[in-house]
Structure 1
Amino acid sequence: MRRFVADVWNGAREESVYELVAPDCPGLGTTGPDGVLAWHRDRRAAFPDLRYKIVDLVVQDQRAAVHWRAAGTQLGQFGPVPPTGTVVSYSGATFLRFDATGKIIDVWSVNELFQVLQQLGVDFTPPPGA
């Protein structure tokens, strides 16, 4: 898990994904390392300096849970939000399962996306009469 954060999330060392992620691991639009890379490439395109810090890590048997914090500057398109130059900071949790060889076979994350959008200036005021 620590290598995944250091190499993939923070280091953009894409070759590490092929060593760490199993071919059938669910990803973004596709499975395996390519799916994991698609998600990280998309996030790095929006926040090129995005860095993650492990707040807490719990490992038991072939499972891991990590509470993390992230911060970065939005210099690229993020969903419908054009580049703002705004620094965002948010946290989340990621849960992973590993196979017997130590490769990641399942990843599930939750994060404060609503908070990120608010920091980028997205207005969530409902229209009148809604």
Structure 2
Amino acid sequence: MSVDIAERGRSWFVEMWGKRNRALVTEWMDPDVVGWSAGQKIVGREAWLQGVYEPFIAAFPDLQLEVVGSVTEGDQVVIRWRFVGTHAGDALGVPACGLRLGLDGITWFRFRDGRIVEGQDAFDSSGLMQTLQSRQAQGGVSLL
């Protein structure tokens, strides 16, 4: 069965982040996936779940993610995305502050046999953390 990796890349965000369909990790991600997020190398899908996915879902439980665009070349897909959520959970090293914000970023994937074998996120993680830390004492302020 041939997999449309462009559609799989877009669906990853809709299903995994939007609908919280964690089952896709074992189905669509190689067990030995290598990724980079916020400057950290992550090896293996369990490490990705614990180091990237679960902290973001805990910090932003109402997180909604929109796919803004995508580009595909060979075995690679780049997705441009935007997330909107409320910092309502104690995670990412910062206590919940009720801040509602939007964040734009891109994710690069490399696929093999329809599965994600490499990936890298690019977004302003330093700016996100500075914003959360500076707003923590001020209460919730929307930054949309």
Normalised TM-score (structure 1): 0.83
CA–CA separation in structure 2 for the residues paired with 1:78 and 1:122: 15
Which structure would you say has the larger RCO, counting Cα contacts within 8 Å and 6 or more residues apart?
Answer: 2
Name the aligned partner's letter for residue 117 of structure 2.
I
Structure with the higher helix share, 1 or 2: 2
**Number of matched residues?**
122
What is the SS of the residue equivalent to 2:83? strand
Unaligned runs of 5+ in 1: 124-130
AA of the residue aligned to 1:24: D
Q: Which amino acid aligns with 1:80?
A: G
**Aligned-partner SS, 1:81:** coil
- Are 2:58 and 1:45 equivalent residues in the alignment? yes
Give the structure with the larger strand fraction. Answer: 2
Contact kept, 8 Å, 2:10 with 2:79, in 1: the verdict is no
**Residues 89, 116 of structure 1: 8 Å contact kept:** no
Partner of 1:71: 84
Deviation readout 1:39-85 (Å, 9 max, x if unpaired): 21111001001111111100111000111111100111233321001
Q: Can you list the C-alpha shifts for 1:59-118, whole angstroms capped at 9, x where unaligned?
A: 11100011111110011123332100110111111101001x110000111112233234
In structure 2, distance between residues paired with 1:88 and 1:73 = 6
Q: What are the within-5 Å matches in structure 2 for residues 1-130 of structure 1?
A: 1-26=9-34, 31-38=43-50, 39-99=52-112, 101-122=113-134
CA drift at 1:29: 7.7
CA RMSD of aligned residues (A): 2.0
